[in-house]
Structure 1
């Protein structure tokens, strides 16, 4: 027998005995069954999105040696690769190979659900205005006069069939019933479709205008002016009466000289004959004085007749 085989034979015999003992201990160890809710990760093409939200987790039942099963942690996930799938409805069978992070000695006994139905849609992207959402009304004696949002727009992505018909994106609800003065609040942007997501999901700041309940004040015989028109026109009815609504503190600041009534001819106004144009209203107050809290309750007349200079209305 070669000398290398017989050298240190007591140590080699001991190593063999230890190996056999470890194998016997592992193979004879009790097996354990455990269930896990593992996250589902779905990957699609850059120009596709999921038309319906899939389940966020998948139930997986695993069995294996007890020591191995006790060490299993949250690192597992179900990975579903749909980068090669076409637009439309897809039936997907989940198999053990989709489970990522499980040790090689674990046996997958159950995947629930074992089959998924997903719908792939063309992806669309749009920049939309943010519309604050309000709950309730201010306490008695006070009123809501508007709000501004900063930033006031957000870019969203989702199925084209949904994004293409969206006019705005709402915020998380903002309560008004606890406020007797203006306030600022941080709100989240919440697209109202589960498959539409913000590309820059950061909070926004909403400035809410609350003031005393409005009162009204009427002003008569306010001149109506012409803006633009290259001095080609004149007005037949050049004065109007206006009733203004707003908080008492702002109404008290307002006088007739701070009310501007005007009509603005456009390119479509005829150069002969006459045309009735809506009378527009502007305040010679700034926002700090509360101009944004004023509104027109009544305007009489609501239109002014525009005539080309040198002509009279028949």
Structure 2
């Protein structure tokens, strides 16, 4: 029979050996992992630019101890391909293992993609005038009189194929829906992602001048009336035609008896025939351009 103290010692020994075995094999066992590295194209020569849609990342599959994998995944790493020798055109890039910053003890098993293509162009600068884009329409009866922007030009940098075909740079759209007065707004440019602003500023000040729409309108067969007499009277002709200029919102609501008052002042006229002009009263800001006829034959008679 085993002495109780010896039995207790043996159990402790077996437990300790088991723990050590677990720790030893657990730390040394091979694990697998995956991660994604962002691609940084910073080695591209300054006179070149990448166009199209270059890949933004690569995927790695690797193996190693759990502790090394954990440490690797905690690192903030990027993949920087060597582009120092590339020229304009379509360039095939092979992802080299030596360009990937792997820690010692980590085995790289797979890279996706293992190779990728880049579209590389010559980079140029170009000075262009600016144009403000607008969306919507002003309030009824109002129009856009003028659009200006400060500064009025911009110097852009980008792919040769894009900039050579550009004759102006556009802003993002300025919404003018229902506006009835002039306003200013700070606005950026609408540019392809490959194009950037070199100078003079990144944000531009657009001014949209809005004014009332001035129109002309003819009114025909407007009846004449007399004022300031106790006698009977008649006119020949007894209607007239006028042409008026003014704000659209005012003229569209004008008509005989509503905004237009036409009469001949008969004060002091004795019975007989007279040649008189008509008095025409228009709404504020409406202007008389023409009247036809200018003179009217007025007959005054005793009741």
Counterpart in the other structure of 1:140: 140
Counterpart in the other structure of 2:185: 185
Contact 2:27 2:67 in 1 (8 A): no
Counterpart in the other structure of 1:7: none
CA deviations over 1:31-63 (Å, ceiling 9, x no partner): 351322524325322222224341233333444
Q: Distance in 1 between matches of 2:70 and 2:139?
A: 58
1:211 CA drift (Å): 2.8
Contact 1:78 1:99 in 2 (8 A): yes
Contact 2:36 2:57 in 1 (8 A): no
Counterpart in the other structure of 1:197: 196
Counterpart in the other structure of 1:154: 154
Instruction: In structure 1, list runs of 5 or more residues that go unmatched.
Output: 1-19, 219-244, 249-314
| Larger displacement relative to structure 2 (34-43 or 87-96) | 34-43
Cα separation, partners in 2 of 1:73 and 1:147, compared to 1, 3 Å = farther
CA deviations over 1:88-141 (Å, ceiling 9, x no partner): 2211111233335x5344433333222111232222111112222222222323
Q: Does 1:85 align with 2:86?
A: yes
Cα separation, partners in 2 of 1:76 and 1:206, compared to 1, 3 Å = same
Q: Distance in 2 between matches of 1:62 and 1:131?
A: 53
Counterpart in the other structure of 1:65: 65
Counterpart in the other structure of 1:34: 34
Aligned residue for 1:54, secondary structure, equals coil
Cα separation, partners in 2 of 1:186 and 1:95, compared to 1, 3 Å = same
Aligned residue for 1:83, secondary structure, equals coil
Aligned residue for 1:190, secondary structure, equals coil
Aligned residue for 2:81, secondary structure, equals strand
Q: Distance in 2 between matches of 1:202 and 1:48?
A: 22
Alignment of 1:55-134 (within 5 A): 55-71=55-71, 72-73=73-74, 75-100=76-101, 102-134=102-134
Aligned residue for 2:41, secondary structure, equals strand
Contact 1:43 1:83 in 2 (8 A): yes
Cα separation, partners in 2 of 1:149 and 1:74, compared to 1, 3 Å = farther
1:75 CA drift (Å): 2.1
Number of aligned residues: 200
RMSD: 3.3
Cα separation, partners in 2 of 1:61 and 1:132, compared to 1, 3 Å = farther
The structure with more radius of gyration: 2
Counterpart in the other structure of 1:164: 164
Q: Distance in 2 between matches of 1:202 and 1:73?
A: 37
Q: Distance in 1 between matches of 2:69 and 2:178?
A: 53
Contact 1:126 1:163 in 2 (8 A): yes
Cα separation, partners in 2 of 1:165 and 1:36, compared to 1, 3 Å = same
Q: Distance in 2 between matches of 1:135 and 1:65?
A: 60
Contact 1:36 1:61 in 2 (8 A): no
Instruction: In structure 2, list runs of 5 or more residues that go unmatched.
Output: 1-19, 218-244, 249-303
